[in-house]
Amino acid sequence: MLETDGLTKIFGKLVALSDVSFKVEEGEIYGIAGPNGAGKSTLFNVVSGNYKPTSGRVMFQGSDITGFSPDRICQAGIGRTYQIPTTFQSLSVRENISVGSTFGGKDTRPVEEIIDFLQLADFADLPAKNLDLFSTKLVMLGSVLATNCKLLMLDEPMAGFSISEIERFVEVVKSVNEAWGTTIIIIEHLLDILINLTERMLILDNGSLLYLGKSSEVTSDRRVVEIYLGREYGEE
Ligand SMILES: Nc1ncnc2c1ncn2[C@@H]1O[C@H](COP(=O)(O)OP(=O)(O)O)[C@@H](O)[C@H]1O
Ligand SMILES: [Mg+2]
């Protein structure tokens, strides 16, 4: 579904991403972890066309999409959310989701189907500015789902959630994957959540791959314990 080859992004003297190669298979939920500033969002920005890579390639469904504009990448079937919740504040929930449906091109998903799926019917006519954080993030997700994306990239969607909201959102992510077969890449710094949600994951550290492999084996990886989790974790 998605493959990167040697992706590198340099800002001035800062190497934000360094030679990152990974593959995501169709239909899987794939995890990305790493400390603040590791390059996780930069990786998304390079895949979604917000940034052009300094070097390296991005392949989507067998086609080279490196350097394509964000709208072209969206219309090719890659949707993403942003770390900072963004909705059109004065537009209603329904209108916000319709924007995604318009942006996605001709092959979009019906807005009412998304509203039902995300259980947003009670809020559909409210302006987005009236919503709490959880519902705001559902609306942002709904707008992306309306593009009918084949690959959905979620940038720390659960940041700021309570434990019960995390549990609810994890179920939403699983249900999107099951209902539409959508391939999902999710950035989340809590490893426990990724171990529960994904089969495979990578960890970035200072722009480079620290780990690439099975999620179930991540906490027994010596480098992950030493560098990411800290020595105390290994001694438990
Ligand atoms: N547009 C940009 N211009 C300059 N530096 C940037 C830009 N975007 C990100 N960076 C830098 O790249 C590094 C990685 O950032 P980011 O990908 O946002 O990390 P993460 O999402 O893992 O927290 C950070 O040092 C950040 O300051
Ligand atoms: Mg980030």
Nearest ligand by distance to the CA of 35: 1
Q: For ligand 1, is residue 118 a contact (CB within 6 Å)?
A: no
* Percent of the chain topping pLDDT 70: 96
Atom 10 in ligand 1: residue holding the nearest Cα: 16
- The pLDDT tens digits of the residues spanning 14-27 come to 999 999 999 999 99
How many angstroms separate the alpha carbon of residue 37 from the centre of ligand 2? 7
Give the DSSP per-residue string, the chain: -EEEEEEEEEETTEEEEEEEEEEE-TT-EEEEE--TTSSHHHHHHHHTTSS--SEEEEEETTEE-TT--HHHHHHHTEEE--SS----TTSBHHHHHHHHHHHT-SS---HHHHHHHTT-GGGTTSBGGGS-HHHHHHHHHHHHHTTT-SEEEEESTTTT--HHHHHHHHHHHHHHHHHH--EEEEE-S-HHHHHHH-SEEEEEETTEEEEEEEGGGGGG-HHIIIIII-HHHHH-
Name the closest-CA residue to atom 5, ligand 1: 11
C-alpha of residue 33 to centroid of ligand 2, in Å:
10
Closest by CA to 71, choosing from 48, 93, 52, 88, is 48
Degrees, nearest 5: CA angle 199-203-205: 180
Determine whether the shortest distance from the Cβ of 42 to ligand 1 is under 6 A: yes
CA atoms within 13 A on the CB side of 232: 0
pLDDT at residue number 104: 66
* Distance (Å, whole) CA 236 – CA 62: 44
d(CA 73, CA 79): 8
Is residue 35 in contact with ligand 1, taking CB distance under 6 Å? no
Taking the CA of residue 45 as reference, the ligand 1 atom at the shortest distance is 17
- The domains of the chain, with CATH numbers, are 2-77+151-235 (3.40.50.300), 87-149 (no CATH)
Asked whether 40 lines ligand 1 (CB < 6 A), one says yes
Cα–Cα distance measured from residue 55 to residue 49, given in angstroms and rounded to the nearest whole number: 13
Per the DSSP assignment, residues forming a β-bridge with 32 are 187, 202
How far away, in angstroms, is 69 Cα from ligand 1 center? 20
Look at residues 189, 179, 150 and name the one whose alpha carbon lies nearest to residue 32: 189
Sheet holding 29-33, edge to edge: 78-80, 151-155, 183-187, 29-33, 200-205, 208-214
CA distance 52 to 8: 10
Residue 230 has pLDDT above 90, yes or no: no
pLDDT in tens, 95-150: 999 998 887 667 788 899 999 999 999 999 999 999 999 999 999 999 999 999 99
Is any atom of ligand 1 closer than 6 Å to the C-beta of 104? no
What would the pLDDT profile of 145-184 be if each residue is shown by its tens digit? 999 999 999 999 999 999 999 999 999 999 999 999 999 9
Integer angstrom CA distances of residue 44 from 39, 154, 171, 194, 235: 9, 9, 23, 17, 34
User: Do the Cβ atoms of 56 and 19 come closer than 8 Å?
Assistant: yes
pTM above 0.85, yes or no: yes
pLDDT per residue over 35-90, tens digit each? 999 999 999 999 999 999 999 999 999 999 999 999 999 999 999 999 998 899 99
Centre of ligand 1 to C-alpha 201, Å, is 20
pLDDT tier at 236, thresholds 50, 70, 90: very low
For ligand 1, the distance from its centroid to the CA atom of residue 132, given in whole angstroms, is: 27
* 47 Cβ inside 6 Å of ligand 1: no
